[in-house]
C-alpha cells in the first residue's frame, strides 16, 4: 500500500487556518500536526480541527518525523524557513511569495530564490509555492485550451492583481497590523510596499497558461499626489502605489501586468484577457466565473469552472477560497510528494513569478527602461 504523507502546518493566522481541513481530508495524507509560536492561536486551531499533535515553534516541528511542512507564516520569513524545512529532510510548501524583501531594490528576492533552489538540489526535497492563481478556474480553462492548441500561437496575456489598500472587505493596513503587531500609525510610517514585490497573483497567470516565462520588461509606476502611505520619506521609501508592466515572454508573446494597491475596484486577481492567433479568452473582472471564448466568427459565454482539473472525491464540495484554488494547491503538493515528482509551481517556477516583479520595479524606478528578468531555468 502507498505510504501516506504526514504533514505539519506552521502558521495558524488569518490564512493558514483555511488549509487545515483540506489537508485532513486528502486521502493521501496520514497525520496532520499544527504549529504556531502564538500559544493562543495554536490551542484554538487544535481544538477547532481536533488535532492532538502540536508544536510550539518551527525548530521543534523540524525535529519531528513528519514528511512535509506547509508554511503560512509572515511573508518575510518564507524563504529561510523553507530552507530550514528542506534541510531537516522534509518537503516544503510555502504560501506566496518566495519572500517579501525588505530592501527597495528586490535584489534580496533574487538571492533568496537562488538559495531555495540550492536547498532543493542539496536536500533532494520538493518545494512548492502555493500560488492560488495557478489553480483558479480561468487559469485551468485557458491552460486546457492552450494544451489542445485552441488559441493558435499566443499573442498576449493580460493579468492583474487589484487590491486597494483600504478595501472594506480586506483592508491591507489591518492585515499588516495583524502580521506585525504594530499600530496603524506605525504601519503608515513604514510606508507602502512595492506592488511588484508581491506580484505572484498576476505574473503566475501568463506563466501558467502559456508555459513560458518573462525575459524582459518595461514598467511604469503610478504615484498618487500627496499619498499618506506611498511616500519617499517613509521607511520603505517607495512612491508607487500601482505599477503597470509590459513583458516579453520566452515564447515571443507579450504579457501586460497591473499591480494596483490604490484603485477604485472591488478587487480582482489573475488573467483578464488572453489573445491567440486563432482564438481569445476574456474575463468579466466583476464576476470571476464568467468568461468569453472568442474566435474570428463566434463569441461564446463560458463558465471556466466546468473545465476544472479532477480532484479526489474527498476534496470536492467546498474547495476553499481564491476561486476554489485552495483544494488544488493541497492536492498538487500532496500528490507531488507521494509520486516523487517536482510540483508544478516548484522552486524554479516560483522564482520566475517573483523575478519578473523585481525587474519590473527596477524598470519603473528608471522611468520604464527595458530591464532583463533574471531566470534560474527549469527545474532539475
Ligand atoms: N492568495 C494567497 O495566496 C494569499 C492570501 C493571503 C495570505 N497569503 C500569504 O499567507 C501568509 C500568511 O498570512 P496571514 O495573513 O495568515 O499572516 P498572519 O500573521 O495572520 O499569520 C502568520 C502566523 O505565523 C506564525 N508564525 C510566525 N513565525 C512562526 C514560527 N517560527 N513558528 C511557528 N509559527 C510562526 C505567527 O504566529 C502567525 O500566527 C503570508 O505570507 C501571505 O503572503 C497568501
**Locus of grid cell 524545512:** 85
Residue 80 inside a domain? The answer is yes
Residues near 33 by beta carbon (within 8 Å), at least 6 away in sequence: 6, 7, 8, 9, 51, 53, 54, 55, 61, 64, 66
- CATH number, residue 280: 3.30.360.10
Q: Is 122 exposed, middle or buried (0-12, 13-18, 19+ CB in 10 A)?
A: exposed
Residue 377 inside a domain? The answer is no
Show the domain range for 44: 5-132
Residue 206's CB is within 10 A of a number of other CB atoms, namely 31
What mean pLDDT comes out for the span 2-11? 94
Residue 380 inside a domain? The answer is no
Residue 286's CB is within 10 A of a number of other CB atoms, namely 10
Binding site membership of 49 for ligand 1 (Cβ less than 6 Å): no
Mean of the per-residue pLDDT values of the chain: 96
Per the CB < 8 A criterion, the answer to whether 330 and 22 are in contact is: yes
pLDDT value at 1 more than 70: no
Binding site membership of 41 for ligand 1 (Cβ less than 6 Å): yes
Residue 30 inside a domain? The answer is yes
Q: Are residues 205 and 215 in the same domain?
A: yes
- For position 114, what pLDDT does the model report? 98
Model pLDDT for residues 338-356, shown as the tens digit of each residue: 999 999 999 999 999 999 9
**Most informative mutation of 9, 14, 15 for ligand 1 (most atoms within 8 A of CB):** 15
Q: Is 65 exposed, middle or buried (0-12, 13-18, 19+ CB in 10 A)?
A: exposed
Model pLDDT for residues 180-193, shown as the tens digit of each residue: 999 999 999 999 99
Rounded Cα distance between 285 and 290, Å, is: 8
- For position 3, what pLDDT does the model report? 86
Q: Are residues 223 and 282 in the same domain?
A: yes
Which of 92, 107, 132 is the last residue before a domain boundary?
Answer: 132
Chain-centroid distance, C-alpha 339: 23
Q: Are residues 84 and 147 in the same domain?
A: no
β-bridge partners, 270: 160
Phi, psi of 211 (to 5 degrees): 65, 30
Q: Are residues 144 and 251 in the same domain?
A: yes
- CATH number, residue 23: 3.40.50.720
Per the CB < 8 A criterion, the answer to whether 230 and 195 are in contact is: no
Residue 365 inside a domain? The answer is yes
79 CA → ligand 1 middle, Å: 13
- The dihedral sign for the CA sequence 353, 354, 355, 359: positive
Residue 338 inside a domain? The answer is no
Query: What's the structural domain count of the chain?
Result: 2
**Most informative mutation of 9, 13, 55, 56 for ligand 1 (most atoms within 8 A of CB):** 13
Binding site membership of 15 for ligand 1 (Cβ less than 6 Å): yes
Percent of the chain with pLDDT over 90: 94
Binding site membership of 36 for ligand 1 (Cβ less than 6 Å): yes
Q: Are residues 201 and 108 in the same domain?
A: no
69 CA → ligand 1 middle, Å: 14
Q: Are residues 228 and 202 in the same domain?
A: yes
Nearest protein Cα to ligand 1, atom 33: 36
**Most informative mutation of 74, 193, 350 for ligand 1 (most atoms within 8 A of CB):** 74
pLDDT value at 288 more than 90: no
Rounded Cα distance between 35 and 65, Å, is: 14
Rounded Cα distance between 126 and 110, Å, is: 19
12 CA → ligand 1 middle, Å: 7
Q: Are residues 248 and 104 in the same domain?
A: no
Which of helix, strand or coil describes residue 9? strand
What mean pLDDT comes out for the span 78-102? 96
Query: How many alpha carbons fall within 13 Å on the CB side of residue 57?
Result: 3
Residues near 249 by beta carbon (within 8 Å), at least 6 away in sequence: 154, 157, 206, 210, 212, 213, 214, 215, 255
Residue 230 inside a domain? The answer is yes
β-bridge partners, 126: none
Model pLDDT for residues 102-145, shown as the tens digit of each residue: 777 899 999 999 999 999 999 999 999 999 999 999 999 999 99
Per the CB < 8 A criterion, the answer to whether 309 and 136 are in contact is: no
- H or E element that contains 257: strand 254-260
Q: Are residues 63 and 181 in the same domain?
A: no
C-alpha cell belonging to residue 181: 503587531
pLDDT value at 369 more than 80: yes
Q: Are residues 295 and 189 in the same domain?
A: yes
Q: Are residues 89 and 142 in the same domain?
A: no
- For position 105, what pLDDT does the model report? 83
Q: Are residues 90 and 199 in the same domain?
A: no
Which of 75, 110, 132 is the last residue before a domain boundary?
Answer: 132
Residue 340 inside a domain? The answer is no
Which own/partner pairs from 290-297 qualify as long-range (CB within 8 Å, at least 24 positions apart)?
Answer: 291/138, 291/141, 293/145
Percent of the chain with pLDDT over 70: 100
Query: How many alpha carbons fall within 13 Å on the CB side of residue 289?
Result: 9
**Which atom number of ligand 1 is nearest to the Cα of residue 175?**
15
- H or E element that contains 374: none
Radius of gyration of the chain from its Cα atoms, rounded to whole angstroms: 20
- For position 93, what pLDDT does the model report? 98
Q: Are residues 197 and 273 in the same domain?
A: yes
**Residue 289: pLDDT band with limits 50, 70, 90:** confident
Residues near 12 by beta carbon (within 8 Å), at least 6 away in sequence: 20, 34, 35, 36, 38, 41, 42, 44, 45, 72
What mean pLDDT comes out for the span 146-151? 97
39 CA → ligand 1 middle, Å: 15
Rounded Cα distance between 223 and 360, Å, is: 15
Which of 132, 166, 192 is the last residue before a domain boundary?
Answer: 132
Looking only at Cα atoms, what is the longest distance across the chain? 64
Lowest-pLDDT choice from 122-131, 206-215, 229-238, 284-293: 284-293
Amino acid at each position: 500500500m502507498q505510504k501516506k504523507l504526514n504533514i505539519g502546518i506552521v502558521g495558524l493566522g488569518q490564512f493558514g487556518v483555511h488549509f487545515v481541513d483540506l489537508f485532513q481530508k486528502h486521502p493521501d495524507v496520514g497525520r496532520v500536526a499544527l504549529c504556531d509560536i502564538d500559544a493562543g492561536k495554536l490551542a484554538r486551531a487544535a481544538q477547532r480541527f481536533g488535532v492532538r499533535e502540536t508544536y510550539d515553534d518551527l525548530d521543534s516541528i523540524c525535529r519531528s518525523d513528519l514528511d512535509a511542512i506547509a508554511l503560512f507564516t509572515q511573508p518575510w520569513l518564507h524563504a529561510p524557513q523553507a530552507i530550514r524545512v528542506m534541510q531537516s529532510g522534509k518537503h516544503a510548501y510555502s504560501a506566496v511569495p518566495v519572500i517579501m524583501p525588505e530592501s527597495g531594490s528586490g535584489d534580496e528576492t533574487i538571492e533568496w530564490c537562488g538559495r531555495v533552489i540550492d536547498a532543493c538540489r542539496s536536500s533532494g526535497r520538493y518545494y512548492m509555492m502555493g500560488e492560488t492563481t495557478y489553480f483558479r478556474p480561468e487559469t485551468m480553462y485557458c491552460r486546457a485550451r492552450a494544451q489542445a492548441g485552441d488559441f493558435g500561437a499566443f499573442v498576449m496575456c493580460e493579468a492583474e492583481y487589484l487590491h486597494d489598500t483600504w478595501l472594506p472587505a480586506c483592508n491591507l493596513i489591518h492585515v499588516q497590523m495583524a502580521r506585525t503587531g504594530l499600530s496603524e500609525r506605525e504601519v503608515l510610517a513604514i510606508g507602502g510596499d512595492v506592488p511588484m514585490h508581491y506580484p505572484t497573483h498576476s505574473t503566475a497567470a501568463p506563466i501558467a497558461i502559456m508555459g513560458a516565462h518573462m525575459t524582459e520588461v518595461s514598467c511604469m509606476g503610478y504615484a498618487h499626489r500627496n499619498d499618506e502611505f506611498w511616500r519617499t520619506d517613509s521607511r520603505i521609501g517607495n512612491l508607487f502605489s500601482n505599477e503597470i508592466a509590459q513583458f516579453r515572454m520566452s515564447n515571443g508573446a507579450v504579457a501586460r501586468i497591473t499591480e494596483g494597491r490604490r484603485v477604485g475596484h472591488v478587487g480582482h486577481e489573475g488573467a483578464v484577457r488572453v489573445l491567440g492567433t486563432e482564438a481569445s479568452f476574456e474575463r468579466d473582472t466583476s464576476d470571476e466565473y464568467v468568461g468569453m471564448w472568442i474566435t474570428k466568427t463566434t463569441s461564446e459565454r463560458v463558465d471556466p469552472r466546468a473545465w476544472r482539473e479532477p480532484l479526489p472525491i474527498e476534496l470536492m464540495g467546498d474547495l476553499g477560497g481564491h476561486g476554489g484554488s485552495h483544494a488544488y494547491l493541497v492536492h498538487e503538493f500532496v500528490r507531488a510528494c507521494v509520486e516523487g515528482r517536482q510540483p508544478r509551481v516548484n522552486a524554479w517556477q516560483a522564482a520566475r513569478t517573483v523575478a519578473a516583479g523585481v525587474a519590473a520595479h527596477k524598470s519603473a524606478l528608471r522611468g520604464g527602461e527595458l530591464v532583463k528578468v533574471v531566470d534560474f531555468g527549469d527545474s532539475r
